[in-house]
């Protein structure tokens, strides 16, 4: 059933599909592409779709329906944001007004649509790649899947081009008001501006050079980067930017007959980075660069070239924002709330910059200091965002969740009323990035604090689940959690926007708990000492045992020997468990020794 709380559009419907396909393709125990191996709890959860053997076919039908809905008569993919765009009235919330928004504005594509399409297309291609060989004798279904694969690949190519042409490099001259804002953000110690500028130029020299020399596809040739006295920022605009150059591809390698229209489309978005769009784009590119995408060979030759261009932008963007966030002795990121170059500030922006920082630390070696400081930032944001603190009467922090942080889409006023995008994913974003930080941390104390914060955040989200109606168990019903003083009516329609982001975070949680626990060298050393002592005592007991003994004592020695063998195998990966096994073995050996001593005395 397309739609939900919001009117059906290319983004909302992709989010709905990803709630099914993303976990199914990222977590083996939730896979849907092999009916015979489908887990019982998975098939039970999806029983409304039919018998186990019918579930993959139903997904194929729904995917085909989605592609048909969002492909025009010329065969071009549609990325229209539709009902997700608002005019920005009604007390600051983003409200769609059919009488005011023009048809041209409704058809605008945004980075969120491009990025989600990348994730959806990769999940769909991987799903079909596994399922198709299982139905080789069903010719009609096999042919349908082949056609769908081609259509999904066309959409993937267009989405990648959209991301390339939405990348923005914004330079700021000496007389630009944004310059003072950007300097104030990085200058946390009150140092002279010329020293800050000099240090900033040094720290960002490699990023500037690579942006000048290597970033050409889809970006205007001259944006002022060669002038070293100009500040700059890079990332993704809200959509295809005004100065984006055309992107052409080898149509035969891409499996097309004509150049995609999106490669020539005139952009209207302000050519400056939006933190929200930047984080969303990085997530989509992560899926492009994943090991699963490489191992399954999901990209064709032309898509691999586009992927390499996006990877370069992914790397430089993370380096840029990570450098800015950690510039100087006192991190700008620690000065909450974060201010963007246009002078806006919000705790939500601090969370977005933290998200990019975590991405960068994930791609590189994170130090203990980096992660310890990140813990304090996430804990502070959780308090300020009322995740770990109660909501007060008329609490302004609630607006960050409902209706969400409103962002002006610069450039849309040229074709109609000024449009806005509203981001309302503070809680799931905090949950996801906290878990990613915990996975990076090698410090047991920091990881424990991050995991406790993740648990409190998921408790907050659990209380916001819809409790009745067809959407029970989905999100979002914030009445009890965020509006305890207002007596709001409960929600019964799903927000696929929030539900998909919670699903992404839960997949990250599954990955975090799927990894081995932290290794503590002290615990490992202690376990090895205990194993040494236990081995020695075991060998002594075996020497004293009668070789013809078939008594319980001999069986107990065999059990102890097996426990110690298990402890030795896991002592590196699970030193705590090895420690416990060795302690149990020592206790059993002591009981045998005491029993043997008592028997000797009785004789």
| Res. 405: pLDDT tops 80 | yes
Can you give the pLDDT at residue 466? 95
| Res. 148: pLDDT tops 90 | yes
| Res. 517: pLDDT tops 70 | no
| Res. 95: pLDDT tops 60 | no
Bridge partner residues of 234 (DSSP): 169
Can you give the pLDDT at residue 532? 85
Q: Kindly state the helix (H) or strand (E) to which residue 480 belongs, with its residue range.
A: helix 479-482
- Residue ranges covered by each domain of the chain: 10-175+181-514, 521-602
Of the candidates 311, 260, 305, the one whose C-alpha atom is nearest the C-alpha of residue 109 is 260
| Cβ-contact 22, 501 below 8 angstroms | no
Q: Which two tokens stand for residue 328?
A: 């100087």
Backbone CA torsion sign across 89, 91, 95, 99: negative
Q: Which two tokens stand for residue 589?
A: 């050996």
State mean pLDDT over 538-556.
73
Strand 231-236 and strand 338-339: the pairing is: unpaired
Backbone CA torsion sign across 97, 101, 106, 110: negative
The CA distance from 130 to 145, in Å, is 11
Side-chain half-sphere of 415: how many Cα atoms within 13 Å? 17
Q: Kindly state the helix (H) or strand (E) to which residue 203 belongs, with its residue range.
A: helix 193-203
DSSP state of 489: P
- pTM of the entire structure? 0.86
pLDDT tens digits, 340-379? 999 999 999 999 999 999 888 877 766 777 888 889 999 9
521-544 helix and 575-602 helix, angle to the nearest 10 degrees = 30
State mean pLDDT over 169-196.
90
Can you give the pLDDT at residue 93? 44
The CA distance from 302 to 161, in Å, is 11
For residue 255, report the phi and psi dihedrals to the nearest 5 degrees: 75, 30
| Cβ-contact 357, 322 below 8 angstroms | yes
Q: Which residue has the higher pLDDT, 418 or 328?
A: 418
Can you give the pLDDT at residue 221? 54
Q: Which two tokens stand for residue 254?
A: 């891409």
pLDDT tens digits, 1-41? 898 898 999 999 999 999 999 999 999 999 998 988 899 99
Q: Which residue has the higher pLDDT, 599 or 203?
A: 203
Q: Which two tokens stand for residue 265?
A: 């489309």
Can you give the pLDDT at residue 600? 61
């Amino acid at each position: 059933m397309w739609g939900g709380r919001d009117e059906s559009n290319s983004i909302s419907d992709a989010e709905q599909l990803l709630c099914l396909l993303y976990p199914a393709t990222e977590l083996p125990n939730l896979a849907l592409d092999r009916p015979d191996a489908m887990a019982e709890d998975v098939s039970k959860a999806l029983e409304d779709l039919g018998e186990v053997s019918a579930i993959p076919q139903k997904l194929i039908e729904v995917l085909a329906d989605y592609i048909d809905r969002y492909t025009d008569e010329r065969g071009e993919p549609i990325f229209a944001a539709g009902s997700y765009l608002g005019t920005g009235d009604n007390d600051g919330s983003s409200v769609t007004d059919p009488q005011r928004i023009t048809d041209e504005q409704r058809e605008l594509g945004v980075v969120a649509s491009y990025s989600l399409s990348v994730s959806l297309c990769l999940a769909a291609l991987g799903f079909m790649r596994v399922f198709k060989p299982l139905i080789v004798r069903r010719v009609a279904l096999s042919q349908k899947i082949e056609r769908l694969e081609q259509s999904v690949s066309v959409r993937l190519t267009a989405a990648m081009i959209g991301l390339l042409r939405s990348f923005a490099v914004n330079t700021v001259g000496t007389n630009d008001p944004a310059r003072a804002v950007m300097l104030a953000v990085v200058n946390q110690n009150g140092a002279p501006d010329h020293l800050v500028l000099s240090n900033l130029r040094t720290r960002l020299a490699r990023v500037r050079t690579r942006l000048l020399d290597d970033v050409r596809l889809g970006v205007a040739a001259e944006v002022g980067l060669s002038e070293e006295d100009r500040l700059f920022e890079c990332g993704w605009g809200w959509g295809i930017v005004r100065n984006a150059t055309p992107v052409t591809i080898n149509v035969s390698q891409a499996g097309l007959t004509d150049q995609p229209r999106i490669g020539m489309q005139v952009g209207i978005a302000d050519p400056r980075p939006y933190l929200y769009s930047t984080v969303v784009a990085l997530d989509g590119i992560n899926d492009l660069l994943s090991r699963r995408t490489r191992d399954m060979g999901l990209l064709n030759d032309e898509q691999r070239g586009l992927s390499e261009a996006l990877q370069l932008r992914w790397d430089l963007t993370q380096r840029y924002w990570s450098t800015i966030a950690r510039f100087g002795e006192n991190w700008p990121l620690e000065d909450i709330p974060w201010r963007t170059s246009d002078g806006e500030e919000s705790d939500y922006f601090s969370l977005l910059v933290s998200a990019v920082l975590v991405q960068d630390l994930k791609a590189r070696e994170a130090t203990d200091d980096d992660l310890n400081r990140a813990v304090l930032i996430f804990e502070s944001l959780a308090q300020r965002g009322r995740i770990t603190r109660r909501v007060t009467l008329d609490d302004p922090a609630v607006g960050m969740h409902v209706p969400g942080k409103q962002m002006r889409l610069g450039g849309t006023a040229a074709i109609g009323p000024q449009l806005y995008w509203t981001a309302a994913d503070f809680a799931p974003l905090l949950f996801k990035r906290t878990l990613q930080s915990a996975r990076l941390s090698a410090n047991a104390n920091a990881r424990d604090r991050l995991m406790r914060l993740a648990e409190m955040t998921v408790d907050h989200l659990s209380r916001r689940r819809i409790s009745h109606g067809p959407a029970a168990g989905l999100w979002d019903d914030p009445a009890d959690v965020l509006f305890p003083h207002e007596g709001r009516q409960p929600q019964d329609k799903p927000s696929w926007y929030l539900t998909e982001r919670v699903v992404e975070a839960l997949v990250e949680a599954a990955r975090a708990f799927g990894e081995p626990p932290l290794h503590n060298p002290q615990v490992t050393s202690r376990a090895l000492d205990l194993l040494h002592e236990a081995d020695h005592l075991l060998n002594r007991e075996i020497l004293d045992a009668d070789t013809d003994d078939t008594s319980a004592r001999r069986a107990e020695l065999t059990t102890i020997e097996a426990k110690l063998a298990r402890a030795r195998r896991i002592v590196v990966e699970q030193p705590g468990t090895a420690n416990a096994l060795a302690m149990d073995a020592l206790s059993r050996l002591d009981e045998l020794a005491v029993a043997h001593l008592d028997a000797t005395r009785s004789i």
